[in-house]
A and B are shown apart, each in its own frame.
Chain A
């Protein structure tokens, strides 16, 4: 698991490796983002992605801290 400043609710036992990429927002820029898919074999440059919001961690007071990520668009949903 990454050292601080990484901050999640994970422990060394529950840490799940995450994907990371730069996602093109057409006509704007490419934004650095976590990817929900962490298997390099299932990621390729140019594939369609969509935005999701997920609970990154839950603070001790019960507050859910949200973050953005991108996930591959399921093949049946593609135009």
Chain B
């Protein structure tokens, strides 16, 4: 039995000094409830989380303390995916019929500075300067460019597309197109990645109302179904963020394993997907994740970006809402932002950035520390 998404809501991403992270979550929850035509008291469960803005169940203080069983989820970049996955299991077990999934966050400016002890690593790892995710991303794309002939121009094209798509999205943070040259010549952060090739920690909130497939018609005439929701953690030897070493042999990483599990669960393959959201913490990540999620062979991205294959009008639109690059990354909300975008695309409600041809299937993928990935496949 599939689970249906029947309501979505989003607080714009970016900087909102007048609202806490939690208030942005409440804002998104109210929109999602209203979008499904239901009330908070109708919710039979809640799953949600934030990394920096407190317990998600505190939104009951504003929405009403109804006694609802609400579980706080904290699972790094997979917080949203894990919340949706938990909600699906809750419904599929027969324990509940309808519930809320919510994620929000509000981060300070600048890079995340996680402590090694939170990841079971010694203090030395942070003191020596290894707790910087930007370094991992740069090292991974350096090797990928070396092995598969990807150029800096391709990285810049990914970022250029993100800001161009962001300009079409009223909820995006960065809504101004930036030229290829400006992207390439902006401040170098971690060679080969420049400032405009990186996303930044930001703020925002997203919520979904989900229910049992057979009652979805009560709430919407455009239900979007969860064909698959999978999450995987790292395996020994894979090249992952906050990993002290890498095996000499190629070991499939968390993204590859989550992707494979999701395709199997959905009974679909990459060719069946009409539109995708892939984790683009930086421009190189989108390039590598295209192959890791099965959408091309390693190295084909060079021609695909040059040909515009991943543009909104291309054969596989990627990050139509501007992705992390144009939206920033509020950890708890980021994965749900991708799902929110897919629901709009599959409903045909994505406005100026609507993918043509009435897309039927959408794919979302997140990746984060310390080697964790969540993938969903959605269909209408």
B56 to chain A, nearest CB (A): 26
Q: Could you say which residues of chain A place their CB within 8 Å of the CB of B246?
A: 22, 29-30, 32
Chain B 141-160 per-residue mask, 1 if CB under 8 angstroms from chain A, else 0: 01100100000000000000
Residue B248 at the chain A interface, CB threshold 8 Å:
yes
Given contacts A20-B135, A40-B191, A45-B142, contact A5 B248 (CB under 8 A): no
Indicate whether A7 reaches chain B with its CB closer than 8 angstroms: yes
Structural contact, B127 and A6, CB atoms closer than 8 A: yes
In the complex, A34→B139 CA distance in Å?
12
Most buried by A among B110, B127, B131: B127
Among residues 1 to 29 in chain A, which have CB atoms less than 8 Å away from a CB atom of chain B?
2-8, 18, 20-22, 24, 27-29
Q: B143 contacts which chain A residues (CB < 8 A)?
A: 22, 45
Please report the C-alpha to C-alpha distance between residue A1 and residue B74 in the assembled complex, in whole angstroms: 29
On A, residues with C-beta under 8 Å from B are: 2-8, 18, 20-22, 24, 27-32, 34, 40, 45, 56-57, 65, 67
Are B248 and A24 in contact, with the CB atoms below 8 A?
yes
CB distance from A29 to the nearest CB of B (A): 5
Q: Are A29 and B247 in contact (CB under 8 A)?
A: yes
Given contacts A5-B115, A20-B135, A45-B146, contact A30 B248 (CB under 8 A): yes
A31 in contact with B244 given A3-B111, A6-B131, A21-B139 (CB within 8 Å): yes
Verify A5–B244 contact, CB threshold 8 A.
no
B245's partner among A5, A20, A29, A67 (CB-CB below 8 A) is A29
Alpha-carbon distance A53/B58, docked complex (angstroms) = 49
User: Given that A28-B248, A29-B245, A29-B247 are contacting pairs, would A7 and B135 also be in contact in the complex, using a CB cutoff of 8 Å?
Assistant: no
Shortest A47–chain B CB gap in Å is 12
Q: Return chain A residues, CB-CB under 8 Å to B248.
A: 24, 27-30
How many whole Å from A7's CB to the nearest CB in chain B?
A: 4
Evaluate contact between B129 and A18: CB separation under 8 angstroms: yes
Residues of A within 8 A of B142 (CB): 45
Which partner residue on chain B sits nearest A45 by CB separation?
B146
Q: How many angstroms between the C-alpha atoms of A6 and B15 in the bound complex?
A: 27
Q: Is the CB of B139 within 8 A of A67?
A: no
Counting from the closest, the 3 A-B pairs by CB-CB distance are: A5-B126, A7-B127, A40-B191
Residue of B nearest to A7 (CB): B127
Are B146 and A4 in contact, with the CB atoms below 8 A?
A: no
Nearest chain B CB to A2 CB, angstrom units:
6
Provide the bound-state CA to CA distance between A18 and B134, in Å. 13
Is B307's beta carbon under 8 Å from chain A? no
Q: Which of B64-106 contact A (CB under 8 A)?
A: none
- When distances are taken between beta carbons in the complex, the residues of chain B under 8 Å from A21 are 139
6 A-B pairs with CB atoms under 8 Å apart are A5-B123, A6-B127, A8-B129, A22-B143, A22-B246, A56-B128
A53 CB, nearest partner CB in chain B, Å: 12
Are B116 and A5 within 8 A (Cβ)?
yes
B132 at the interface (CB under 8 A from A): yes
Contact between chains at B139 and A4 (CB < 8 Å): no
Docked-complex contact A32 and B244, CB < 8 angstroms: yes
Chain A residues with CB under 8 A of B127: 5-8, 56-57, 65
